[in-house]
Amino acid sequence: MARIAVLVSNPCTGDARVIKMAHAAVSNGHEVHVFATAGANASPYEEVAGVIYHRIEWRPAALLAGWSPLAWLMRLHRPSIAALLKRITPFLKYRLFSQVFCEHVVAIKPDIVHAHDLICLPAGFNAKRETGARLIYDAHELETHRNPPLPFFQKYFVGLVEAKYAQRADAINTVGMLVGQELAAHIKRNDINILYNSPPLDDCPRNIRTDLQLDEETQLLIYVGKVTEGRGVGQILELLPKMPGVIFATIGPCDLKSHSKLKSHSERLGVSSRFRILPPVPFEQVVSYIKGADLGVISVEPVTLSYRYCMPNKLFELSFANVPIISNKLDEIEGYLAELGNGEIADFENKAALAYTMFRMLQEKQRYLMGADALAVLQQKYSWESQSKKLLKSYDLILAKRPQ
């Protein structure tokens, strides 16, 4: 058994990738501590399903403002210093995060430190240096190709930080093959582990069709995931007038501003009776909940390389629910759909053609339902069971390399 310290820069109340990895480690007999940031309605310290959560206050701007010279200058001209803090925080946040979190990680004397995303990596490395623990870097996306795009000097700096610390990690995980190839070229390592964001498959006591009070004949188009700007939900809404009788529903978090904006948009289009924004369900129950939908849409806009190469949770949730998929042109998803035969790629900029393709796919749903062979490939290659085995194997391998 190993003691594993997991570092994450959010409260970790709904971070599916982090939580399911922690649960997998606990199920394999490891002791897991998640060091996360404090958040509203999130307990500072708790144990959930065998995982111990430590949530620590993290306010980088406040930390900088408390530095004596800046605190003194704040009294002279607060707006100017506030603007300065905003500019320098992206460059100093890595060091600040380490200063806040490293001591807490060191205190539990971990055998492994698992750092999620770049902001956590320097803290993980410093904890490794102080304790002799093994270090895993889990890259959830391409840090130098985030959205919105980084300014030139910040992008250059982020690249330097990632290369410096990732080269010193004992293992590296990421979310897809193409992201892995790009990351390997950047940090000059060829031993990247690909762990897809596959879902656990717990039963859900409800189903989307029941919640919407739909009969089996009504065609249901769904979007799974966070509902916000840049996700293409508004653009899909504009296609509904061209798809008579089709119901469009989103399942996932939606802030009040986005909710109001989309509802107003649907009213202007005259389709409000055929559009629903549903609340999220627990991530481990999504697959069960969406079974029976007729078509799932992945409308990510390839505005950065990270988005273009993405392999999001929703892709696998739709697949394991055997819901046919229509996706914007995204490189690795295109190969995935071709491999399993469970969907099509479309040009989401061509609205007229997109409405036609969606409506045709709804009528031809049976053509995209996976049979036994495709489902076997899905299970063997992409299931969370297979991803967790790779994770646990990586833990075993780096633990075996510890000095005796």
Region 209-230: mean pLDDT is: 92
Predicted pLDDT of residue 17 = 98
Region 50-59: mean pLDDT is: 96
* Pair (374, 393) in one structural domain: no
Predicted pLDDT of residue 75 = 55
Is residue 56 packed enough to be buried (19+ CB in 10 Å), middle (13-18) or exposed (0-12)?
middle
* Pair (331, 262) in one structural domain: yes
Region 30-39: mean pLDDT is: 97
Position 148 in a domain: yes
* Pair (104, 46) in one structural domain: yes
* Pair (137, 216) in one structural domain: no
Predicted pLDDT of residue 77 = 54
* Pair (244, 96) in one structural domain: no
> Cα dist. 108→130, 187, 380 in Å?
12, 30, 36
Q: How many residues does the chain have?
A: 404
Taken in order 61, 65, 67, 69, the sign of the CA dihedral is positive
Tokens read off for 335: 């190969």
- The rounded distance, in Å, linking the Cα atoms of 324 and 159 is 38
Tokens read off for 26: 């606990």
Q: For residue 185, what pLDDT band results from cuts at 50, 70 and 90?
A: very high
Q: Using alpha carbons only, what angle is made at residue 226 by residues 222 and 229, rounded to the nearest 5 degrees?
A: 100
* Pair (137, 215) in one structural domain: no
* Pair (243, 281) in one structural domain: yes
Q: Which domain holds residue 235?
A: 208-380
Position 203 in a domain: no
User: Based on the structure, what is the number of domains in the chain?
Assistant: 2
* Pair (256, 172) in one structural domain: no
Of 86-95, 358-367, 380-389, which gets the smallest average pLDDT? 86-95
Cis before 11 (ω within 30): no
Region 283-289: mean pLDDT is: 98
> Cα dist. 125→31, 166, 341, 374, 380 in Å?
20, 9, 42, 41, 34
Predicted pLDDT of residue 86 = 76
Predicted pLDDT of residue 64 = 73
Please, how many CA atoms are within 13 Å of residue 106, restricted to the half-sphere of its CB? 15
Q: Does the pLDDT value for residue 295 go beyond 80?
A: yes
* pTM of structure: 0.93
Mean pLDDT of the chain: 94
Q: Using alpha carbons only, what angle is made at residue 15 by residues 11 and 20, rounded to the nearest 5 degrees?
A: 120
Predicted pLDDT of residue 401 = 80
The maximal CA–CA distance of the chain, rounded, in angstroms, is 71
**Cβ contact 324:312 at 8 Å:** no
pLDDT digits (tens, 9 = 90+) for 17-27: 999 999 999 99
User: How many CB atoms lie under 10 A from the CB of residue 398?
Assistant: 19
> Cα dist. 363→213, 249, 372, 402 in Å?
21, 18, 22, 57
Position 19 in a domain: yes
Predicted pLDDT of residue 81 = 56
User: Residues near 171 by Cβ (< 8 Å), separated by ≥ 6?
Assistant: 134, 135, 136, 137, 191, 193, 394, 397, 398
Q: Does the pLDDT value for residue 155 go beyond 80?
A: yes
Alpha carbon dihedral 166, 167, 171, 176, in 10-degree steps, equals: 60
Position 317 in a domain: yes
Predicted pLDDT of residue 62 = 75
pLDDT digits (tens, 9 = 90+) for 235-268: 999 999 999 999 999 999 999 999 999 999 999 9
Q: Does the pLDDT value for residue 312 go beyond 90?
A: yes
Position 318 in a domain: yes
* Pair (175, 229) in one structural domain: no
- The rounded distance, in Å, linking the Cα atoms of 224 and 254 is 11
Q: How far is CA 162 from the centre of its chain?
A: 19
Q: How far is CA 26 from the centre of its chain?
A: 21
Predicted pLDDT of residue 159 = 98
> H or E element: which one contains 167?
none
- The rounded distance, in Å, linking the Cα atoms of 13 and 257 is 22
Region 267-273: mean pLDDT is: 96
Predicted pLDDT of residue 72 = 52
Position 202 in a domain: no
* Pair (27, 154) in one structural domain: yes
Q: Does the pLDDT value for residue 82 go beyond 80?
A: no
Is residue 123 packed enough to be buried (19+ CB in 10 Å), middle (13-18) or exposed (0-12)?
buried
Q: For residue 60, what pLDDT band results from cuts at 50, 70 and 90?
A: confident
Q: Got the DSSP string for 361-388?
A: HHHTHHHHS--HHHHHHIIIIISHHHHH
Q: Does the pLDDT value for residue 31 go beyond 60?
A: yes
pLDDT digits (tens, 9 = 90+) for 83-135: 666 788 899 999 999 999 999 999 999 999 999 999 999 999 999 999 999 99
Alpha carbon dihedral 114, 118, 124, 125, in 10-degree steps, equals: 120
Q: Give me the percent of the chain exceeding a pLDDT of 90.
A: 87
**Cβ contact 113:135 at 8 Å:** yes
Nearest CA to 332 among 362, 300, 355, 364? 300
Specify the CATH number for the domain of residue 235.
Answer: 3.40.50.2000
Position 305 in a domain: yes
* Pair (125, 246) in one structural domain: no
* Pair (52, 90) in one structural domain: yes
**Cβ contact 286:317 at 8 Å:** yes
Instruction: State phi, psi for 135 to the nearest 5 degrees.
Output: -120, 130
